[in-house]
Amino acid sequence: MNKAVVICGPTSTGKTSLALRLCKAFNGEIISADSRQAYKYMDIGTGKLPVDKSFSQIEKYDGFWKVIGTPIYMYDVVSPAKSYSVYNYSKKAQNELLSIQERQKFPFIVGGTGFYIDVLTGKKPISNIPPNIKLREELNKKSLEELQSILRKTNENKYALIDINNKARLIRAVEISQSKGVQNTEKDKNCSLDILSIGLTAPRKFLYGKADWWVEKIVEKGIILETKNLLDYGFRETAPMKGMVYSSAVDYLDEKIPLSDMKQKVKWDIHGYIRRQLTWFGRNAKIRWFNIAEKGFDIEVLKTVQSFLDGGKKIL
C-alpha cells in the first residue's frame, strides 16, 4: 500500500516549514490542504508567503509553488472569483498525489483544513450529488423558517438531525433531498493510502501568541496593499474575500474601522479558527501530536516519519 504523511494542526504552527525540512530528508513533495491557499493573488493573508524568512527562494507557477526547490501543489489553483469546494480540491489533489508517486517522490499532505484532509485521505466520504446552482439561488431567497418547513416536508429524518439555524446546511439538505441520485455513504475507494498523521500544536495561549504575532507581521508585509489589489481586480464580492483577514482589511480600506481595530478583529477571528481546528482534529484519534513549544519536537517528528517509512521496524 502506498504511504503518505499528513502534517496537520491549527494555523501558524509551522506546518509548512517543518514539511519542507522533511521533504529534504525524505525526498518528498508537498500537497497543500488549505482551502484559502488554493486561491491566486492571495499570498500574504493566507500564509503562503512566510513572514519570517526572505522570499528569495520562492518560484511561483500556475497551480504550484517551488519553495527552496521543493514543490508545493494546490497553491494558486483557482481564481478568487470561481466557486471552489472540497470536491474540486480533492479531485485535483488526488491527481497530484498520483503524479508524485509516479515520480518516485514521497507525498506530504500539509494543511489546516481538516475537512479537505479527511476527504483527500479517504477518511470522509464525498457526496456524489453535485450542487444545483439554480435551486440554490431560489432557496437562498427564502427565509430560515421557509427552508425549515421545506426540508421538514421533503425529508423528515434529515430535518430531525440538521443544524436548524444553519441556512447553508438547510439549502444543501434540500438540494440532496430533491436530487434524483442516492447519496453515497461509502468512502472514496480511490484513496487507499497508508497514512501517518502528524499533528502540530501547543498550549492555547502559545498558539494565540503566535497568531497575534503573525497578524502584526502580515500588516508589515503588505496585507493592506494585497487586499487593495484584490479589490482593484474586482474580487470584492467573492467568497474568499468574505472570510477572515481579508474581510477586515476591506473594512479598513473602506474606512469603517481604524487599523488597530482591524488587527484586533483578525486576531480574534484567528483565535476562533484555531479553536475550531482543534475541535475538528481532536476527533481524529490517529493523529500523533507534537508540542511545538517543546525543544526538539522536530527531531521527534523526523524519527517518527523515519520509523513509518521503515515500516515501523527501525527506530533511529
Window 226-245: contact mask with RNA (x via CB under 7 A): -------------xx-xxxx
Q: Which stretch binds RNA (CB under 7 A): 68-76, 101-109, 268-276, 307-315?
A: 268-276
Q: Which is nearer to RNA, 1 or 161 (CB)?
A: 161
Q: Which is nearer to RNA, 5 or 120 (CB)?
A: 120
Spatial neighbors of 7 by CB under 8 A, at least 6 apart, are 15, 18, 19, 22, 108, 109, 110, 111, 198, 200
Q: Which is nearer to RNA, 127 or 155 (CB)?
A: 127
What are the beta bridge partners of residue 239? none
Window 176-215: contact mask with RNA (x via CB under 7 A): x------xxx------------------x---x-------
- Give the one residue of 149, 166, 190, 229 binding RNA; rule: CB under 7 A: 166
Closest CA to 92 of 120, 111, 70, 69: 120
- Give the one residue of 59, 146, 163, 254 binding RNA; rule: CB under 7 A: 163
Residues 307 and 313: their CA atoms lie apart, in Å, by 7
Report, in Å, the least distance between residue 234 CB and RNA.
19
11: annotated binding-site residue?
Answer: yes
DSSP states along 145-208: HHHHHHHHHH-HHHHHHS-TT-HHHHHHHHHHHHSSS----SPPTT---EEEEEEEE--HHHHH
* Residue 168 interacts with RNA (CB under 7 A): yes or no: yes
- Give the one residue of 9, 45, 71, 122 binding RNA; rule: CB under 7 A: 45
Is residue 174 within 8 A of residue 131, CB to CB? The reply is: no
Q: Which is nearer to RNA, 2 or 178 (CB)?
A: 178
16: annotated binding-site residue?
Answer: yes
- Residue appearing with cell numbers 464580492: 237
Spatial neighbors of 69 by CB under 8 A, at least 6 apart, are 57
Closest CA to 2 of 195, 189, 187: 195
Q: Which stretch binds RNA (CB under 7 A): 94-102, 112-120, 193-201, 255-263?
A: 112-120
Q: Which is nearer to RNA, 231 or 239 (CB)?
A: 239
User: According to DSSP H, which parts of the chain are helical?
Assistant: 15-26, 86-102, 114-120, 133-140, 144-154, 156-161, 167-178, 204-221, 223-232, 239-242, 246-253, 259-282, 297-309
Q: Which residues are part of a known binding site for ATP?
A: 9-16
Q: Which residues bind RNA (CB under 7 A)?
A: 11, 34-37, 45-47, 83-88, 112-116, 124-131, 136, 140, 163, 165-169, 171-172, 176, 183-185, 204, 208, 239-240, 242-245, 268-269, 271-273, 275-280, 282-283
Q: Which residues are part of a known binding site for substrate?
A: 11-16
